[in-house]
Chain A
Amino acid sequence: MEFDFSVIRDQAWFLGYGIAVTVALSVMSGLTSIVSGFGVAMLRLYGPRWLKPVVVLYIDSMRAVPVLVVIVWTFFALPIVAGLTMPPFAAALLALTVHLAAYAAEIFRAGIESVRPGQTRAALTLGMSRSQVLRRVILPQAIVRMLPAFGSLLSITIKDTAIASVIAVPELMRQSETVAGQSFQPIEVYTFAMLVYFALLFPVTRGVDRFYRSVAHLGRS
């Protein structure tokens, strides 16, 4: 049993493009889901009462339905309903955002609720407005506590971009499939892909651990 990894070298540009798309999709959906998730969390915590069950339904639904289903539905079914066409990358970005924002919202909520109510009371006693309390006292503490969960979410985001391969987004997984199919060397190609994903993901989890340890004291009250 011999392995010939020269196919990787030959297809370096093609695979490299895949890596770039993976990174781009990860970063973009990471950002959009955090921003959207924050909005959703604010709606849940501070929004009008009638909206809360809707938000909760959305969040719980995203916990119930697989990412694959969301991605596939967004790419194939949404255009039929909405009457528009979407390129695969956009569909994947939208699907990932909608799916991950629910998790991000939960992280925000848990982080904010974990700050002791005494902190809010103390800040209000000083005469701060509610938004000041949120901005200057709650969020800074909450953010530190949320870091490990967000690190974990980033890790999940990167892994979920690989699922976008099923709607032909040219990220690393898809590119690997193509090269593997054409070269009849699936082991070499997929092993390469594994190493790349590991190299992307391992520092994320480790990095978050380290960063959190150094700033954890800022979040304790």
Chain B
Amino acid sequence: MTLDWSVVWTHRGALIDATGMTILLAVATMAIALPCGACLAALRLYAWGPLRALAVSYVEFFRNLPLILVVYWAFYVLPILTGFGLSPFLTGLAALALNVTAYNAETFRAGINSIRRGQVEAAMALGMSRVQALRRVVIPQALRRILPILASTWVSLFKDTSLVSVIAVTELAYVSMQVRAQTFRVLEMLSAMAAIYWLLGYPQAKLVDWIQRRYAVSE
């Protein structure tokens, strides 16, 4: 078996672009999923009737489906639902955003619910309205609990961007496997792909650990 690692170097341009695409996907997904998740959590906590049921169903639905299936489903269904064809990038982004929104909604809801009722009562006993109590007492405390979980979700999202490779989005996994197919350098390209993900992901995982230590909440 002869190995030729120079293929990695030769194709470094494509790999770097692909890495950029991976990062872009992750950032764009979070940019959508954070506000949407917050809205959904608000609906679930404070709305009632069909609106609340809708929020609950959405979260339960997307938390119980494999993301890769959502990607395929989005690829085939979204064009029909929206009436026009979406690029693979947008389709992938939509699938990722739908998925992460559900997780964020759950994170926000659990964070807010974890604040003891007594805190709200103490705020209201001072004469604050529910909204004021939320803003000045509940949310500042909830954010402390929410942040570590969001960090963890981010790392998962970063890895999950690899799944949109199945609909030919030019992120790292897809491009690596394309180069592999073109050059037949299987071990080299796949190892390079693994190494790049590792180089990106390892520091992120350690950062999440640090965040969780720093923001550890003792009851």
Contacts and interface: CB of A to CB of B under 8 A. Distances in A.
Which of B60, B162, B206 has the most chain A CB atoms closer than 10 A to its own CB? B162
Given A166-B166, A190-B77, A194-B69, A65 B187 contact: no
Given A1-B80, A80-B1, A197 B64 contact: yes
Interface of B: 1, 60-61, 63-69, 72-73, 76-77, 80, 155, 159-160, 162-163, 165-166, 173, 177, 180, 186-187, 190-191, 193-194, 197-198, 200-202, 204-206
A159 B50 CA distance: 29
A187 B80 contact: yes
Contacts of B197: 64-66, 69
Closest CB pairs A-B (n = 7): A64-B201, A162-B66, A186-B76, A66-B159, A201-B64, A159-B66, A66-B162
Contact of A65 (B63, B64, B180, B201): B201
B119 to A, nearest CB: 24
B198 A61 contact: yes
B187 A77 contact: yes
B151 to A, nearest CB: 12
B162 A63 contact: no
A23 B215 CA distance: 38
B163 A68 contact: yes
A163 B193 contact: no
Contacts of B204: 64
For the residues of B in contact with A, the DSSP-based class is helix
B69 A65 contact: no
Contact of A163 (B163, B177, B180): B163
A5 interface: no
Contacts of B67: 159
Interface of A: 1, 60-61, 63-70, 72-73, 76-77, 80-81, 155, 158-163, 165-166, 173, 176-177, 180, 186-187, 190-191, 193-194, 197-198, 201-202, 205
Contacts of B190: 69, 72-73, 76-77
A165 B68 CA distance: 9
A216 B42 CA distance: 29
A89 to B, nearest CB: 17
Which of A72, A160, A163 has the most chain B CB atoms closer than 10 A to its own CB? A72
A198 B69 CA distance: 11
A198 B68 CA distance: 14
Nearest to B200: A64
Contacts of B68: 162-163, 165, 173
Given A190-B73, A198-B61, A69 B193 contact: yes
A198 B80 CA distance: 23
A63 B77 contact: no
Contact of B186 (A1, A77, A176, A193): A77
Contact of A77 (B163, B191, B202): B191
Contacts of B66: 158-163, 173, 197
Contact of B69 (A60, A80, A81, A173): A173
Given A66-B173, A166-B166, A190-B73, 19 more contacts: A60-B202, A64-B204, A66-B160, A72-B173, A72-B190, A73-B190, A73-B191, A159-B67, A161-B66, A163-B66, A165-B68, A173-B66, A177-B72, A180-B76, A191-B73, A194-B69, A194-B73, A197-B69, A201-B65
B210 to A, nearest CB: 13
A61 to B, nearest CB: 6
Nearest to B195: A65
A88 B123 CA distance: 59
Nearest to B166: A166
A193 B69 contact: yes
